[in-house]
Structure 1
């Protein structure tokens, strides 16, 4: 559902005729200002490379240039967002307040503009986008009621902005997100069907076409579109060649982005290309050891987890033990046990069994039972306490 909260930035669907009575126009919009677009692109390039300081400097200059416009706080909120994203698994919320404050400023400035002109394109665009991103984080934080309210507010602007009937590729992103995910999520997660019953109908093929249009021709939202397509071909419609293509695009354009590098590694894991996956995870491990910006303990723990699995695949149990223990060390300060911390502990016990170190294995399985349940983690730990794990 979090994906649907981003649909607040949608506009007219590609190929649709102009709607009767359309009263919204992009004429005069700040988003038509090419100087602004170039500056924003420069800041976003810094941001996606996890160069937070340079990105924020560019966005501050934009905010100073347009002090009453929502564009400045919106762009600056993305710096907080990209500090949050690598930490999501850890439950770390240190950047949440700054993010929410920035989104509140976006909404407040947008509402002031709407008070003067209720069809102001910029105000509708940024207010919808702010609700979309805020709803996405609230969904990640499992604040479902608040996330739902943001989602409803964002969705309201999907159809309002659609009246503008623009062909700008960036503006197709929200419509692409909504059309695709509102089509496929009910099939993958039937539990949400009753909720989506009240949503407008959606078109999967249209959604894909619009996302690909943004990924190909977009400027400000191109990277987001590529990332969503990667998720689609990794999770919803597994396709190795397409997933690799989008992952390679992201890591090629933003080589210092640890989050994208991990995603690339997970693509190779899904299709059991372990040696190639190891290279991606090793780059994250190396970047973390060097203290590179964005190479957080949380992301390093994910890299260590998959590195441990890689060593198990090659029967290198001593190396696997080191990797799984590294996960435990890197996640020790988390507010809640991440799924990678739990799974690493379980697999560490399995490694001890394979090494014939039964007492250590039993202690590790009991440790897993002290953690929160993650999938069938408790069931498997109890199973291996009764009978040692055997890879056969």
Structure 2
């Protein structure tokens, strides 16, 4: 099942990665429907082709309009700082003045996407609104492209909107729609690369694809025959493009930074310090973005920056406690677990540690995340604390929960099974 799941996920990954301005990594779900059979894509290359700006008519391109950029600077900042009402108000104002242009609809779809992020995109309350905005962005951009096939701004929005739709359809296990949207996104991504010399905004999707297509081939060798029909990527070029976007692009710069955090902190790149600096910058720039704040806390935790970890986790839980936008149970569970660990290991206060671990368990249950991760870790820690206190009934309760919820191959499962076998009732 796991192998089949990975096959389906990575078949649609091409379109998902080129979903300009898309969010963090895919959730891990079991697909409900098989992947449809499709003819292979024709082989194309995603090189850094550039056109001379004077050869392209950019009149009417809002993406390159500096006045529009200045006007929307506050709105884009508000979007990433989870001030969605303020951001959407400005995006709707743009829509009223440019009703036939895709930009406002695309930005509204991006805002809607980030509203899903605090629950790892598992929250489907926004699906219809999100798809309505992306559909309209596609319709408006398609009309511009039909009028002028050299309208690379239209290609940018078509690639982005189709990519984001592919991402959502994959999350919802609609593999047919995900695949169709993926291939359309890739088609327009190829066309938009001809405008690389006009703006670094056009490099974002290409940077993602260049980097991840190589990584997928390296990590999943059995997918190489399929990847043969996709564009040839370049890890170095992908990283360089994402770094350029992160430093120079207005609309896609923040997304590039966030993807770079995930890339640089991975075992593949092993550049934890560089990832930490980017995360610290994101958290400083957008202190009310729960995702950025939690990622900052996690990297602090991994690097042993315990004081910063504690401050960030307490901030997350305080905002969650008052119901601040974006601070959901999914976010709270990780912060509670890290604070529990600090109480246990740094402050040697088992009572406070148990309190935070129990919060983690409750938040995980509220978020529907009881099959892996922090829920399993917290239950195991609680069981160990009970063992240390010679409270066998409590230890048995927690270890039984671990045995029921965890995978048989996990260390926590084996620990729980061993203890329960050696301590029968």
State the TM-score, normalized to the length of structure 1: 0.88
Match of 1:348 among 382, 386, 389: 382
Cα displacement (A) at 1:274: 3.1
Match of 1:166 among 197, 201, 206: 197
Instruction: Indicate whether 1:77 and 2:128 are aligned.
Output: no
**Other-structure match for 1:185:** 216
* Kept after mapping to 1: 8 A contact 2:46/2:210: no
* Kept after mapping to 1: 8 A contact 2:371/2:406: no
Cα displacement (A) at 1:130: 0.7
Match of 2:84 among 37, 52, 73: 52
Match of 1:363 among 392, 397, 401: 397
* Kept after mapping to 2: 8 A contact 1:8/1:156: no
Pairwise mapping of residues 79-228 of structure 1 onto structure 2 (< 5 A)? Answer: 79-88=111-120, 91-228=122-259
Pairwise mapping of residues 274-293 of structure 1 onto structure 2 (< 5 A)? Answer: 274-293=306-325
Cα displacement (A) at 1:179: 0.8
Name structure 2 gaps, 5 residues minimum: 1-9, 22-44
Q: Distance in 1 between matches of 2:195 and 2:201?
A: 13
Q: Distance in 2 between matches of 1:146 and 1:378?
A: 37
Cα displacement (A) at 1:57: 0.6
Cα displacement (A) at 1:145: 4.3
Encode CA deviations 1:241-286: one digit per residue, 9 max, x unaligned.
2011101110111112121011011112223333332222111111
Encode CA deviations 1:148-189: one digit per residue, 9 max, x unaligned.
332222111121112234241222111111111111233234
| Count of residue pairs the alignment pairs up | 384
* Kept after mapping to 2: 8 A contact 1:13/1:172: no
* Kept after mapping to 2: 8 A contact 1:132/1:151: yes
Cα displacement (A) at 1:8: 5.2
Q: Distance in 2 between matches of 1:105 and 1:355?
A: 61
**Other-structure match for 1:268:** 300
Match of 1:5 among 1, 5, 16: 16
* Kept after mapping to 2: 8 A contact 1:23/1:163: no
Cα displacement (A) at 1:300: 1.2
Q: Distance in 2 between matches of 1:108 and 1:335?
A: 36
Is the deviation greater in 347-356 or in 282-291? 347-356
* Kept after mapping to 2: 8 A contact 1:12/1:164: no
Name structure 1 gaps, 5 residues minimum: none
Q: Distance in 2 between matches of 1:23 and 1:387?
A: 77
Q: Distance in 2 between matches of 1:149 and 1:369?
A: 40
Cα displacement (A) at 1:39: 2.7
Cα displacement (A) at 1:78: 1.6
* Kept after mapping to 2: 8 A contact 1:9/1:158: no
Encode CA deviations 1:44-98: one digit per residue, 9 max, x unaligned.
1001111111011111111111112211111111221111111117x33222222
SS of 1:337 mapped into structure 2: coil
Query: Would the alpha carbon gap of residues 5 and 357 (structure 1) be closer, same or farther in structure 2, given more than 3 Å must change?
Result: same
**Other-structure match for 1:62:** 94
Query: Would the alpha carbon gap of residues 144 and 320 (structure 1) be closer, same or farther in structure 2, given more than 3 Å must change?
Result: farther
Instruction: Indicate whether 1:317 and 2:350 are aligned.
Output: yes
* Kept after mapping to 2: 8 A contact 1:251/1:257: yes
Encode CA deviations 1:9-67: one digit per residue, 9 max, x unaligned.
599855x4549xx9965454221222222233221100111111101111111111111
Structure 1 consecutive aligned stretches of length 4 or more whose deviation exceeds 6 Å = none
**Other-structure match for 1:252:** 284
* Kept after mapping to 2: 8 A contact 1:258/1:295: yes
Query: Would the alpha carbon gap of residues 359 and 191 (structure 1) be closer, same or farther in structure 2, given more than 3 Å must change?
Result: farther
Is the deviation greater in 133-142 or in 44-53? 133-142
